[in-house]
Structure formats: structure tokens, C-alpha cells
Structure 1
């Protein structure tokens, strides 16, 4: 019998760890899973262990010399100079022991989610350990060793012959996924992100639309710094719906970075947790409206791992499983008690953010208008084709 949703998780996924003080910390996976458990929102029947991706599967996107370099680096056999040529051993992506195995497990988790959905065993599947969207064919970038989303999309195309819409709401542009399919008409990438004017990776301009047969199937919405919930959601919902109507995918893959929140230390957007309730709600509805509910979701960025990420990511699971009524209750006190001593900040007690979380944005109307114009510019060719 097909289940409603599957949660791909294992504590082994926490082995993807650069250092104790690196901003990318997969302890956030455990924080999220523990929150769901203490709410009574998940049990063992929902949880699927991730498998390890094979070299052949990773090679769907990454070059063999790069895979070999990652293995060698994780075994202490790669010189600093050669490592740096592959984007390894940098401040963003330091070398750590067994890094190939840790990264391959995250890829395998996303492939596990793919197979559950594409084989009809589950309507939806969530692998929060994935979403590493900056990795390139022969180079690590931005905390990402292997690009699990790109591998998963290519895997879907080859094994299931399906058309894929990839939707990325991370504050950073989903560059690695975009460039992997830039000339592919069977993959559409939609990225809503903070403008690259002041933020890594600096790409994702509205004019990056694809090339060759893939022209028109890369959609970028670079939104202004300090963008708030209403403007973010207007851009996201309208672009998502119009791309579903235009592209007609067989399956949707969403990347759910939680770093567009005001509290995030690495970005400059002003979303509240309210946006993270709406993002999966819209994805859920559209997946049922246009592709029989086939929806695979992964994690991504999110560097306030105490106050933001557990709530934002738990909301994806609650939406997938029809348990959003639980958002009307306070966060479990037992979760608070388990983690407050380790947290450097006061943990939230409920699902909402303080009404005075930040001072009023003086350029709100200007930012909203600019984002609206960006939306119209990004979708101009789509709307013209539909006329």
C-alpha cells in the first residue's frame, strides 16, 4: 500500500561534518527529527534509512577524477595544492575524515527518496540531509561536496524517463543544479534567492535562462535584500504555479534551505517562520494539481540551526502528512529541556516568531515593487509563449 510520506533519516547522516565551528552543522537534522518525535508527529513506520550512493550514481554528475580526489582527501592522501584545485580544503569546504562516505550517504538519502516516490511506494518523500546544491561536476563549492539534487534529477531522467521541475528557495542561488541542466529541455530549474550582488555565489541573474534546447527552462528570481514574507511568497507562488502550467513536469523536487529567515547569520533577507509554513503548503498543493502528488523534498542551507531550522523543516513533514493542526500547539517542553543547555540562544516556545523580531523595513514598498518587476521579467517569455 502506498504511504502518504516517507522521512529519510539516520544519525549516520550527521557524519557530514567539517568541524565544530563550521556554520554547516547537520546536528540540525537530529534537532528536527527529535522535535517531530516529541510532538508525536512521526514514528518508525515513516522512517526510511538512507543507502550509500554508488560511485556510478555519483558519476551521473561528477567526474571520476573528482570522486577519486574526494576519496583521497578523506583518507589524508591528497596534497593541499591538488585539493584546492578541486575546491577541497578551503574555508568553505574543509577536508575531513571519510568525507566521501559521508557525502555519498547524503546522496543516497536523496536517491532513496526518489525511488520511494517514483516506484509508487510513497506519494511524497523528505530527505533533509540533502539539498547540497552548489557542488559542480569537478569541484566542491559552498559547503557542498556532491550535488545530491543534480544526481537525483539525472537519476530520475535515466531510470524513470520523467520530466523534472526543481524548485529552490534557499537564500543562495542553486547554481550547481542550474548549470548541470542548463541546456536540457527535460529539466526546469526555478530558483528564488537573494540577489547575488552581495551574497555567494553571485550568480542567478534573471537573464540566466538556459541555452540551446534548454533555453527558457532556467528561471531565476533574484530578490532584494531585506525582502519580507509577503513579497517572497508572492514571487514564489506565482512563479511556481506558472512553471507547473508551462512545463508540465512528471515530478517536483524542492530544495528547502531555511536561510532566508531574518535570524540567519549568513544572509540578508527578512522572512519570518510564517513563510516556511506556506512554502511546503504551496508545493504540496501544486504537486497534487499537476503531477499526481509526486513530490521529493530535500533540505539545504539554514545556519540558525536552533531557532529556525527545526521549526522550518518540521513544517515540511507536517504539511506532507496532513498534521499542520499541530502548529496550533506550543513546541514540546520536552524538546526544550533536551536542547536548551546546548543552545547558545534562547529556544522558541511556539511556532511563531516575535512580532517585533526586527524594526520596520523603511524600503518595504520599494523592495516589493522591485521584486514584482523581477518576477514579470523572469516569466516574460513564458507568458508570451502561452498567448
Structure 2
């Protein structure tokens, strides 16, 4: 077994369930783990179930009154009236909500502890990445912000430089807010432009608070951006900033909702490009953080066709045994998909694309291209604060 990688998993995380018809169907988590197992990746990474985050841990990011509000709504869902963001259409209260959300948070905190403590070089929690939850409110299907809690735990353990890279289609607003004034944390978010998508934040001019100018980085991508543009934007921004910042740990969030089939957003990315970014994140961790890498899930609402394949690739890359994109999905997994969803499973681990992009340095800036204008806006806003040329 390759104990250099941990896979954080407890079947009880599927209890994070907002109910029938809600886009965040926990079947996406179960089907991902079954696909991981079908490829034998649970024998390549050490599967670890961490304990739920306790109150003192949750309070590294969340206000005590909010934690108590979640606990009350969890015990009596009918009492949730929209205050604290609980009991809304996005975040309906459900029985056991506190316990399920704290368990997911615990997996991300456990990943942080394992990587910082040297028990693992890399760790994955694809049930996590709930990046919209704020200090005092739920938002965007997120109750506790496990991503911010993982970063906060790393700081508590002694880390002085942590980089957080978020490639979910939605802005990583909760993580940015948690470390807005903390120069020890560099947050980078690539997301659909706030003019066209929730949470309507993540403008390039959002660059950090007075004590941490240049520590928040936002790339607002035009609706319709596909593989080539998405990868061009990532490579035009992320590698240079990580090289300048030199994090001790890299934390990444891999929401699969950038995919062209995702029903809640408007980018046109494929599983193949999502896999390419996961590969790049591992390489960047090797180059800049001694290999220390914590990878989280996030959004993703094409729960059969996209999410399980994307996050299985993520686990495989972290485990050091990448899955050939041309591989057929295992028969037993296809039967599981049909039994649980009455949908036909995808037949291969690829969307049939060969991702490529125009490198920023090689091709330069095209002022007539909306994607290039987005990249330039970010570079001009942030790069000088990091001692880089825009």
C-alpha cells in the first residue's frame, strides 16, 4: 500500500442530504467511492475515517452562535426560519445536519493533520470542498466550511504559508473571507464571472484586506469558457503565484461543476481538462510545497456522468496510480449506477478530448479575447503585490 496518500472516507458522509430534488445529491459521493474501489484505488491509498470536527475545531472558522444555530436546526429542522442561512431553498435544514457537516469537516481537518504531521504526503477528501459557508451563516449548499477549517488547522499547527487553489465554477468566497486579512494564506479562485453566476463575488479587484494585500486572487472567466481557455487561465496565473509564494502546503478544491454538462453553471470544461488540472496541482505541490497536497471535492451536479469520474481521477493522481483516460468503467460500477439511479453510466473515463492550451508566455495577450482580458485583469490587480510583472 502506498501510505504516502490518504483517502479520507466515512460512509456516513452520505448523510449530508438536503432531501429529494436538491442538486447536491449524496449519491455522487457513494458512486465516486464505488468507482474508486472498482479501480482498486482503495488499495493504493490508505482509507482513513477521521472523527467529526468538534466545537473547538469548528470555532477556528465559525462563530459559536452559528454552530449552536446549526445544532438547533439539526435537532428540529422545522424550526429553521432562514436565519443564519438555514432553512432556505439552498440550505434546507435536515435531521442530523450538524453531525453530517461536522463529519465532512473532520475529514478535511484530518487530512490537514496527516499531511502536516507527516503521516501522509498527500490526502484527498472528495466529500469536502464546501467553500461557501461563512463564519456566521450557511450558503450555497455549504453548512461548515471544511476547506477553511483545514487551512485554519494547518496554521494552528504551525504552518506559516498555505496556498489554497479553488477551481470550482463558483467563487470560493467563504475561504477568501476567512483569510481576507491573513498574509499567511494565499487564496486563488478560478470561477465563472460573477455577473452570470452565484455568489456574484470574485472580481479581480478583490485582492485581500489592508494587512494582506495581494493574498486574494480571483480569475473571473467568461461564460462558455471551454478546456483551452480554462487551462490557459490556470497556467497563466497559478504557477507563477505559487512559485513566488512558496507555500508549505497546497490545498486545492476540485469542484466538478465547471463541466459542460453541469446543470447549474455555464462553463464548457470536460473531465479530461479537470483531470489535467489535478495533474498540474500535484506537480505544483511537488515543485513548491515539498509534495504536501490536500485535495478536496466541491460542487458538481452531473452526479452520474461527471462527478464520479472526475474525483476518481483525482484520487488516482494523489495515490500515484493515474487511471488511463481510455479505460472502460468497470462493469460492476455500471450495474451499481443503474441500480441506484436508473441511469446509464458513462462507458469510459474520458470525454474523448486531448486537452491543450496556448501558453501565456509563448502566445502573449490578445486584447480582443474575453478570456485573455480576464487573465490580464487578475494579473494587473495582484501580481505586483507578489513582486511579479503583470
TM-score computed with the length of structure 1 as normaliser = 0.93
Q: Look up the match of 1:186.
A: 184
Matched residue of 1:274: which SS? helix
Is the contact between residue 187 and residue 216 of structure 2 (CA under 8 Å) also seen in structure 1?
yes
Q: Look up the match of 2:300.
A: 302
Please identify, of 29-38 and 302-311, the stretch whose mean Cα deviation from structure 2 is larger: 29-38
Q: Which runs of 5+ in 1 are unaligned?
A: 356-364
For the residues of structure 2 that align with 1:335 and 1:286, how far apart are their CA atoms?
32
For the residues of structure 1 that align with 2:105 and 2:83, how far apart are their CA atoms?
23
Root-mean-square deviation over aligned CA pairs: 2.0
1:120-269 equivalences in 2 (<5 Å): 120-269=118-267
Matched residue of 1:281: which SS? helix
Q: Look up the match of 1:95.
A: 93
For the residues of structure 2 that align with 1:99 and 1:24, how far apart are their CA atoms?
14
Q: 1:2 to 1:30 in 2, by over 3 A?
A: closer
Deviation at 1:342, TM superposition (A): 3.2
Q: How many residues align?
A: 376
For the residues of structure 2 that align with 1:12 and 1:101, how far apart are their CA atoms?
9
Q: Look up the match of 1:362.
A: none
Deviation at 1:381, TM superposition (A): 5.1
Q: 1:85 to 1:34 in 2, by over 3 A?
A: same
Is the contact between residue 115 and residue 121 of structure 2 (CA under 8 Å) also seen in structure 1?
yes
Is the contact between residue 227 and residue 368 of structure 1 (CA under 8 Å) also seen in structure 2?
no
Q: Look up the match of 2:75.
A: 75
For the residues of structure 1 that align with 2:45 and 2:135, how far apart are their CA atoms?
36
Deviation at 1:144, TM superposition (A): 0.5
For the residues of structure 2 that align with 1:148 and 1:74, how far apart are their CA atoms?
18
Is the contact between residue 2 and residue 123 of structure 1 (CA under 8 Å) also seen in structure 2?
no
Q: 1:324 to 1:161 in 2, by over 3 A?
A: closer
For the residues of structure 1 that align with 2:340 and 2:152, how far apart are their CA atoms?
40
For the residues of structure 2 that align with 1:11 and 1:368, how far apart are their CA atoms?
49
Q: Look up the match of 1:7.
A: 7
For the residues of structure 1 that align with 2:154 and 2:78, how far apart are their CA atoms?
33
Cα deviation 1:256-295 (Å, max 9, x = unaligned): 1000000100001000111111011000001000110000
For the residues of structure 2 that align with 1:216 and 1:354, how far apart are their CA atoms?
38
Q: Look up the match of 2:49.
A: 49
Matched residue of 2:42: which SS? coil
Q: Look up the match of 1:359.
A: none
Matched residue of 1:28: which SS? helix
Deviation at 1:378, TM superposition (A): 0.9
Is the contact between residue 69 and residue 78 of structure 1 (CA under 8 Å) also seen in structure 2?
no
Is the contact between residue 26 and residue 129 of structure 1 (CA under 8 Å) also seen in structure 2?
no
Q: Look up the match of 1:371.
A: 371
Is the contact between residue 4 and residue 122 of structure 1 (CA under 8 Å) also seen in structure 2?
yes
Matched residue of 1:379: which SS? helix
Deviation at 1:164, TM superposition (A): 0.7
1:30 aligns with 2:30: yes
Q: Look up the match of 1:20.
A: 20
Cα deviation 1:86-109 (Å, max 9, x = unaligned): 100000000101211111101100
Cα deviation 1:223-267 (Å, max 9, x = unaligned): 011100011011112311011112111101001100000010000
Q: Look up the match of 2:388.
A: 386
Deviation at 1:383, TM superposition (A): 4.2
Q: Look up the match of 1:360.
A: none
For the residues of structure 2 that align with 1:368 and 1:340, how far apart are their CA atoms?
46
For the residues of structure 2 that align with 1:383 and 1:54, how far apart are their CA atoms?
38
Matched residue of 2:12: which SS? helix
